[in-house]
Structure 1
Amino acid sequence: MIRRARGDELEILQEVERAAGAPFREVGMDLIADDDPPSISELAEFQRAGRAWVHVDDRDRPVAYLLADVVDGCAHIEQVSVRPDHARQGRGRELIDAVDDWARGRGLRGLTLTTYADVPWNAPYYQRLGFRILADDELAEGLRTIRKDEAVRGLDMWPRVAMFRELP
């Protein structure tokens, strides 16, 4: 089941993020695996604004989460993370579909995200969900700023792309 994240679950979201980062070691991206999750204050900002969703297990405990913002007239997926022991069960896709509905209800034109180009559960996965890679000259100001910030944080040590999925 998907629902909005609660304020008392933010530490669990950090745990989910740490667990979700571990598989990056398998593809030689230890720095990403060791990256700190969003802070409690960052998570709280998304949660209070109603832009943090969780996928919960049968005990109502989050096993996946998604954070979204509005960037360039689109719902921008800031983060989507799934615990590895709950991966490959459609949870990430269901979270993205929930944000798709949220974006439609706000009259936004699509979904955007940035991700690693060559990691199987990143860009290739999102392409299967209907996202397409944006060329650099297609990036609006907000996405350009996000990409610059990612470069400053060292996230572009591996090829990254911005992606877009149009809302019907």
Structure 2
Amino acid sequence: MRLSRTSPPADHARVDLRPARPDELPLLPAIERASGEPFRDFGMPEITDDDPMPLSTLEHLHVWVAADPHPVAWVAVEVVDGAAHVEQISVHPDHARRGIGAALLDHVEHWAAARGLEALTLTTFRDIPWNGPYYRRLGFTEVAELSPGLRDVVAAEAARGLDPATRVCLRRALHRGVRAGY
């Protein structure tokens, strides 16, 4: 596991970052559900109770897992307007705060560099501490003007009931030193 930009606690888990195997895809919704539980305590039970990403969608995305030895976290990505767009990243609460999410994002960054992409993008809740502020600490900045593909992402989220006023689109340019050795 490559360490993230922010130093994880010294007891961070040693996990294997790798592409998800087809037989692991059915395990990922449970991780997504568990990672959504903190929204309930934040007064957003509708987010906690929202259906996880369907397997039929996961099958068409680039998906990586952090396994110990079974998946404990995952990230799903698609290419949107020349960037690796993070559709979903979920870390099981039992493995949270160990740098695993940041390591998954760094892993995606290497993948994106190997494909000549220019950045990572994602949409998230603007003010939830483990969303917008967390990603800003990892080097993401707010997108001032949305590209056509990102406008489509935001519109699809709004159609699913997510209030665009509570959301933010973030971008992290690929770092020049990232090896494209994929």
Tell me the TM-score normalised to structure 2 length.
0.85
Q: Which runs of 4+ in 1 moved over 4 A?
A: none
What is the Cα deviation at residue 157 of structure 1?
A: 6.8
- Distance in 1 (CA, whole Å) between partners of 2:135 and 2:174 is 15
Q: Which residue does 1:145 correspond to in 2?
A: 152
Q: Which residue does 2:161 correspond to in 1?
A: 154
What is the Cα deviation at residue 40 of structure 1?
A: 1.6
Q: Which residue does 1:34 correspond to in 2?
A: 49
Larger relative contact order, structure 1 or 2 (CA cutoff 8 Å, min sep 6) = 2
Q: Aligned to 2:163, what secondary structure does the other structure show? A: helix
CA offsets per residue over residues 66-106 of structure 1, 9 Å max, x none?
A: 00000010000000000011000000000000000000000
Tell me the TM-score normalised to structure 1 length.
0.92
What is the Cα deviation at residue 10 of structure 1?
A: 1.4
The answer to whether 1:125 aligns with 2:134 is yes
Q: Which letter does structure 1 place at the counterpart of 2:58?
A: L
Higher helix share: 1
Number of corresponding residues: 160
Query: 5+ unaligned residues in a row in structure 2: which ranges?
Result: 1-15, 176-182
- Distance in 2 (CA, whole Å) between partners of 1:91 and 1:30 is 25
> Once the two structures are aligned, what percentage of the paired residues are identical?
54
What is the Cα deviation at residue 151 of structure 1?
A: 0.7
Q: What does 1:59-138 correspond to in 2, within 5 Å?
A: 60-135=69-144, 138=145
Query: 5+ unaligned residues in a row in structure 1: which ranges?
Result: none
Q: Is the 8 A contact 1:71 1:142 kept in 2?
A: yes
Q: Which letter does structure 2 place at the counterpart of 1:130?
A: G
